[in-house]
Amino acid sequence: MGRLEHKVAIITGAAGGMGKADALLFAKEGAKVVVTDLQEVKLQEVVSEIRANGGKAIGLKQNVTSEEDWALVVEETLRAYGQINILVNNAGVSDPTTFMDQTVERWERTMSINVTSIFIGQKAVIPHMIAAGGGSIVNISSIAGLTGGSGAGPYTASKGAVRMLTKATAVDYAKHNIRANSIHPGYIETPMTEDLLKDETMKQWFYAQTPLMRLGTADDIAKGVLFLASDDSSYITGVELPIDGGYYAK
């Protein structure tokens, strides 16, 4: 039996990269998966791949900053599968600019997508996790949420907020058997970093910052997400898990 057998999981930002890897692995481990994103075509490709491999999944277009969209995602999930056991808040945006180069509008966009969406999503899902007898929330932060990243102040602030929101959630809802943990990826090869990695100098800089001397993959992150989503981590809540090739250990 799979590690997520009889579980229903919502995964945001799942049309590609880390979210897609999470969805494929979750389905392989027996979960019924609800994947959301704004990229409808790529999202349906993920759903088709899961179903072709014998898994169960539905795909829903979602703006994660919209309360109305969250309400619809919850409604469709319950209609399709009857419960919600796992929430992976993976959707996010990168905006590597300094404070002086930033605008209020861009700051608010970063905060809305990276932080407010998680607040809205948790608020929408937690009552149904309580009804199901508990659940697991995994919020994707970043190593920038653990250290003061250079040249990316607003992004760093947003990812630090994810870390602390996760801890607050863990403390408040432990009595309902709901666990909340954050994952902090290091330098990962995903569509979000694709343009940066075309610069060989930048790529070598990433290697130099990482003790294991390689970039991470979406599958590296998915394995950590699976652990925190599954009952294997049933006594773990409120923690941050760096998956970063040793970056944070320095």
Query: What positions carry a catalytic annotation?
Result: 155
Q: How far is CA 202 from CA 153, 154, 192, in A?
A: 19, 21, 14
If you search the block for the tokens 């994952």, which residue do you land on?
183
Residue whose pair of structure tokens reads 């999202």 in the numeric block? 43
Q: In Å, how far are 42, 83, 208, 211 from 223, measured between CA atoms?
A: 22, 23, 24, 20
End-to-end alpha carbon distance in the chain:
39
Alpha-carbon distance values, 23 to 66, 150, 202, 231 (Å): 22, 32, 29, 17
Q: Where are the alpha helices (DSSP H) in 53-145?
A: 67-81, 104-111, 117-131
